[in-house]
Amino acid sequence: MKKEEVPQDLSALGKVTTEVCYATDGSGKYTTEQSKGWDIKITALDAAWQDIEKRIATAREKVTNNEASPLLFFMEKGLMDIDILAGYTGFWKWQIKRHLKPGGFKKLSDKKLKIYADVFEIKPDELKNMRP
């Protein structure tokens, strides 16, 4: 691809970041060029974010229906899974699975709630009441 052919399709991330692409300059040598985006990539990213938004909405609904604890909502919002959350908190995966259930979550000590809240960068009260 020639330097002047590098896509510059503006995406949601285009105002925040650019991507380095390799292209050929006027003399045919490879060089780097900044790209603001590419339609195909923008479409793929938009589809991925729509899926993430659906997962967050589903998690919110489960918490509202008392099928899951607020941890599920904040995990989805933070793009985390149990393995990642275990790494950040130091809790065992089986403990987190128990805390994802409403009954297990209600039994959490203030100390454990604070650990989770710190990971999600919120206050323990916001975690309890699912207020991001």
Local confidence band at 60 (pLDDT 50, 70, 90 cut-offs): very high
Domains of the chain, residue spans: 3-37, 41-128
93 in Cβ contact with 126 (< 8 Å): no
Collapsed DSSP state (helix, strand, coil) of residue 20: strand
Query: Distance between CA 48 and CA 121 in Å, rounded?
Result: 24
> Does residue 13 carry a pLDDT above 70?
no
Mean confidence (pLDDT) of the chain: 90
Render pLDDT for 23-35 as a digit per residue (tens, 0 to 9). 898 888 999 988 8
pLDDT digits (tens, 9 = 90+) for 69-128: 999 999 999 999 999 999 999 999 999 999 999 999 999 999 999 999 999 999 999 999
- Angle at the Cα of 7 from the Cα atoms of 12 and 24, rounded to 5 degrees: 140
Class of domain 41-128: mainly alpha
Give the CA radius of gyration of the chain.
21
